[in-house]
Amino acid sequence: MTNQEIQSIKQRFGIIGNAPALNYAIQVASQVAPTDMTVLITGESGSGKESFSKIIHALSPRKHGQFIAINCGAIPEGTIDSELFGHEKGAFTGANEARKGYFEVTDGGTIFLDEIAEMPLGTQARLLRVLENGEFIRVGSSKVQKTDVRVVAATNVKLLDRVQAGKFREDLYYRLNTVPITVPPLRERGDDIYLLFRKFTADFSEKHRVKPISLTPDAVRLLTRFRFPGNIRQLKNIAEQISVLELDREVDAARLATYLPAAQTSQLPALLPGNGGASGDFGSYSERDILYRLLFDMRRDMTDLKKVVLELATGNRPATAEAQELLRQNSHLFSNLNEASPYASPDGPAEAGNGYYLPGSPAAPLRVDVTAVGAYADEDEGDHTEDISHETEEETLSLDAIEKEMILKALKKHHNKRKYAAQDLGISERTLYRKLKQYDLESA
């Protein structure tokens, strides 16, 4: 596909930017559009996944059919089957007449299923049957009906993690993931950030009949370095705020910084989300909450280190160079190391009950006192290990307590308005309802 064709698609669908990852996603979407293959679009919330579903529909033979976008996380679990597949009169309380579902209405068209990870397991089974055979059954009916619908799904989470957690069907995942398209987050698009900002400020200046905003060079650098966890949606909101509120139409870095949330411009690596996921956004929490999270992460790392030492000491794990390096880096955690050299002992192998030497180099064997990390050796009865599984259980319970506390804080902050609390926590309303039920907070 030529660059000119990609630019033509961008113009047609109002897509701005020249990042290589963005261009590649557009190319894949245009190549798969003429087929009937199922497509799975992945990307962070606000990165523009729905635009790619529209590209696929508009460039396909189904372009004259109906296109419907459905947010699976916004439909209550009790009614989603009826919404998607329809129901018969009297199928449930309030079903006063028969109703067609989206799969019946869009026969010959395209359905875009956003937030597919939030779909209940029972509905997933129904969807798999539609994808495999083009068949569905209305709620309250026994009649099998046919439909010819193309499905484009999208998610902002890793579906494989959901599969491993038992919350998403593995067969449905592989059926949906026939052609994957990854939409890059805004922070990975470089100069596209400033291009989009200029486009938004120009639009808002026309809408509000004010002079367009311009940025000084230092403000441009600050803008392009910002992480934008909310992606394009967040950039658009900031552009509108500045367009309406700023009296001086040339904005410098100091003034721009007042519109950028301070917690999201921090350079502390411990507070930055690894891949921009919602679970890594600490912007809504206090310093005490963040410290709790970091402490529990450190304790979990210590538990993993204990397990490595136990396996090395008992001979259940090869003494690889990587394992020995891990132990050397954490040698301050072991109490019975030789004082003259932190890694070597000239006295040969340790006596049973006191510790072990792990073979490194002949001149510098590494001695580890396994009693300091939850294990011991007995000369007469062989090796024994201390059960440390309770520590992992304590961590899980403690993390649940932290999560429960954060949910309560978000609800209190937003006066028990669950919609805004879920947005603040970076989760969907469906997930928040499930957490409230899990922690018995439904009355909160």
* pLDDT score of 315: 62
pLDDT digits (tens, 9 = 90+) for 250-273: 999 999 999 998 745 444 443 434
In a domain, residue 412? The reply is: no
| Same-domain pairing of 177 and 229 | no
| Same-domain pairing of 114 and 239 | no
| Same-domain pairing of 177 and 191 | no
In a domain, residue 283? The reply is: no
> What CATH code is carried by the domain that includes residue 209?
1.10.8.60
pLDDT digits (tens, 9 = 90+) for 185-199: 999 999 999 999 999
Angle between helices 49-58 and 3-13 (to 10 degrees): 110
Inform me whether the pLDDT recorded for 423 exceeds 60: yes
Q: Cβ–Cβ contacts within 10 Å for residue 437, how many?
A: 10
Domain membership of residue 239 as a residue range: 187-264
- H or E element at residue 401: helix 389-413
| Same-domain pairing of 174 and 258 | no
Bigger pLDDT: 311 vs 158: 158
In a domain, residue 344? The reply is: yes
Provide the number of structural domains found in the chain.
3
Percent of the chain whose pLDDT exceeds 90: 52
In a domain, residue 158? The reply is: yes
* pLDDT score of 416: 85
Where a domain ends, among 184, 216, 250?
A: 184
| Same-domain pairing of 54 and 161 | yes
In a domain, residue 327? The reply is: yes
Distance CA 390, CA 376 (A): 18
Where a domain ends, among 369, 386, 403?
A: 386
Distance CA 311, CA 308 (A): 5
| Same-domain pairing of 242 and 306 | no
| Same-domain pairing of 64 and 162 | yes
| Same-domain pairing of 198 and 70 | no
* Lowest-pLDDT range of 13-27, 77-91, 316-330: 316-330
| Same-domain pairing of 7 and 94 | yes
Inform me whether the pLDDT recorded for 389 exceeds 90: no
Distance CA 136, CA 126 (A): 7
Where a domain ends, among 128, 160, 184?
A: 184
pLDDT digits (tens, 9 = 90+) for 105-138: 999 999 999 999 999 999 999 999 999 999 999 9
Phi/psi at 256 (5° precision)? -60, -35
| Same-domain pairing of 168 and 94 | yes
| Same-domain pairing of 331 and 359 | yes
> What CATH code is carried by the domain that includes residue 31?
3.40.50.300
Query: Which of 156, 184, 203 minimizes the C-alpha distance to 17?
Result: 184
pLDDT digits (tens, 9 = 90+) for 149-188: 999 999 999 999 999 999 999 999 999 999 999 999 999 9
Phi/psi at 61 (5° precision)? -65, -10
| Same-domain pairing of 170 and 157 | yes
pLDDT band at 341 (very low <50, low <70, confident <90, very high): very low
Q: What is the pTM of this model?
A: 0.59
